[in-house]
Amino acid sequence: MYVTEGGNVSIVKADGQQYSAQKIPIKDIGRKKFVKDFSDAMKRMNKIFFKRTGKWIWEDASVLDGASLYNGSTSYMMDLDVPDEAVLDLKPTMGDIDLIVPEDLKEDLWVFLKELEDSPEAQITDNVRYIGNNKNNFSMVGDQINAVFDYQPDDLKEEKYIIQVDFEFLEFVEKDGKKEPSEFSKFGHSSTLRDLEAGVKAVFHKYLLRAVSYGVSKRPDIIQVTKTATADNWEKKIKKKQGDTMVKFSVSKGVRLAYEPLLAFDGSPIADKNGNLVFREIPTSNSTYSQSIEEIFEMFFNRKPSKDDIKNMWSFVGVVDLIKKYLSKQQIDLIIDRFFQLLWEVNDKKGSNVAQELERDDKELDYDIKMAAVDYLMKEIPQETKKIFKKWEKTIETYYKQYGQRDSLVLQALSKARLAK
């Protein structure tokens, strides 16, 4: 099974010309060659940045030759210590390149890229040219800039590729006198060969962690009130949505408690007439996030982790093992249902899709990629997954039918075939 990935960014220049990111045929170009070409280009861009700003993007640019500044599947694709045979047979093409940048350089890099666009120095090296990015205003940046580059391998003069580079702004910490990405920065954007071998994209590891935080902390037996609720007005501040989750997982920030017990004036917990405790929403700005993998494990699984447990936290396959080992059937049902929601939720009221589209203009491939993760769940947790998959069939049909990419009858046939396995 191949794991296919592709950039989704498409930008339109001032002259009206459109540039859309493409998959990079790493196996055809040669992995060693591509890694060297890209690393050389980023080192050169680092020098241009220093010349213009007096700052380095990466103080030690030699780390671009390894895996530490890359996230997701890029980390092992760009790491030549990982042999070709371990990745190229399963992943012959490459989509976007996830490259980490210190978060305190966000505005500096955005300004730099705007000035670099269409300047003579946009031709960074002989075979890599900067084209532009999709963040027209700094307010749009968020936690990453999605840029496109023109890449023309030296020995393939007839071939040219538009490659997507996601500059991801993450926390760097001081270690041994050098700045490097923090452990959670890597964890929140990690990808493992273990998942690659299972045919599962890295993004689903993060979806599953979000689903686990939901499944282990959903409390239908409490009353949630808004952040402005007090002991004497809470009954007027009840949130419309009941049964929310107590723990929230953020890929960029970590895990936080979303609610706290609302206390009476004498310090005792407030409850309604049925004995349901009242919990008040904690504003995100007042929240404390845990970024320790050990602490996150304890919050999810209510126990101290072993070394193997921590290792399992880093992959989709490993987290599935932890779910099977430590969680109840009720929690597993909630997790799988939430996972399906993240894949295929449809907002009927607005008529738009809530779930992320993973493949631009190819919903058939989007379905296959998502189903690779679901198939793994069906193999490892068959009873619960098949039951919940059946519940979601119509929503999945609607999700794809809205865009006219797949016939609902085909989806029905595929669904029934998978359930019969």
329-344 and 203-217 helices, crossing angle to 10°: 130
Residue 408's pLDDT is: 42
Output the CA torsion sign for 249, 253, 258, 264. positive
Residue 419 has pLDDT above 80, yes or no: no
Six-digit token string for 402 = 């809205």
Residue 74's pLDDT is: 85
Burial class of residue 142 in the structure, from the number of CB atoms within 10 Å of its CB (0-12 exposed, 13-18 middle, 19+ buried): exposed
pTM for the model stands at 0.76
Confidence label for 350 from pLDDT (cuts 50, 70 and 90): very low
Residue 415's pLDDT is: 55
Residue 413 has pLDDT above 50, yes or no: no
Residue 349 has pLDDT above 60, yes or no: no
Residue 366 has pLDDT above 50, yes or no: yes
Q: Identify whether the C-beta of residue 406 lies closer than 8 Å to the C-beta of residue 400.
A: yes
Residue 352's pLDDT is: 47
Residue 44's pLDDT is: 97
Mean pLDDT score across all residues of the chain: 86
The CA–CA distances, whole Å, from 50 to 167, 181, 205, 265, 374 equal: 17, 20, 36, 57, 46
Q: Identify whether the C-beta of residue 323 lies closer than 8 Å to the C-beta of residue 329.
A: no
Burial class of residue 200 in the structure, from the number of CB atoms within 10 Å of its CB (0-12 exposed, 13-18 middle, 19+ buried): buried
Residue 3 has pLDDT above 50, yes or no: no
Confidence label for 253 from pLDDT (cuts 50, 70 and 90): confident
Cα-Cα end-to-end distance for the chain: 18
Residue 186's pLDDT is: 85
- Give the mean model confidence (pLDDT) for residues 139-150: 92
Residue 5 has pLDDT above 50, yes or no: no
Residue 131's pLDDT is: 95
Residue 7's pLDDT is: 54
Report the 10 Å Cβ neighbour count for 198.
22
Residue 45 has pLDDT above 50, yes or no: yes
Q: DSSP 3-state assignment of 288?
A: coil
Looking at the chain, the whole-number percentage of residues with pLDDT higher than 70 is 90
CA dist 154 and 395 (Å) reads 48
Strand (E) or helix (H) holding 130: strand 128-133
More confident residue, 361 or 203: 203
Burial class of residue 421 in the structure, from the number of CB atoms within 10 Å of its CB (0-12 exposed, 13-18 middle, 19+ buried): exposed
Residue type, 33: K
- Give the mean model confidence (pLDDT) for residues 298-305: 96
Looking at the chain, the whole-number percentage of residues with pLDDT higher than 90 is 49
Residue indicated by tokens 């099974």 = 1
Task: Choose the most confident range, by mean pLDDT, from 134-138, 191-195, 257-261, 330-334.
Answer: 330-334
Residue indicated by tokens 């895996």 = 67
Residue 1's pLDDT is: 35
Q: Identify whether the C-beta of residue 213 lies closer than 8 Å to the C-beta of residue 249.
A: yes
pLDDT tens sequence across 20-33? 999 889 999 999 99
Six-digit token string for 138 = 């700094």
CA dist 376 and 367 (Å) reads 14
* 120 Cβ neighbours under 8 A, 6+ residues apart: none
pLDDT tens sequence across 233-249? 998 988 755 567 888 89
Residue 253 dihedral angles phi and psi, to the nearest 5°? -115, -30
Confidence label for 418 from pLDDT (cuts 50, 70 and 90): low
Six-digit token string for 155 = 């020995």
More confident residue, 388 or 81: 388
Residue 311's pLDDT is: 96
* 117 Cβ neighbours under 8 A, 6+ residues apart: 130, 131, 132
- Give the mean model confidence (pLDDT) for residues 6-13: 74
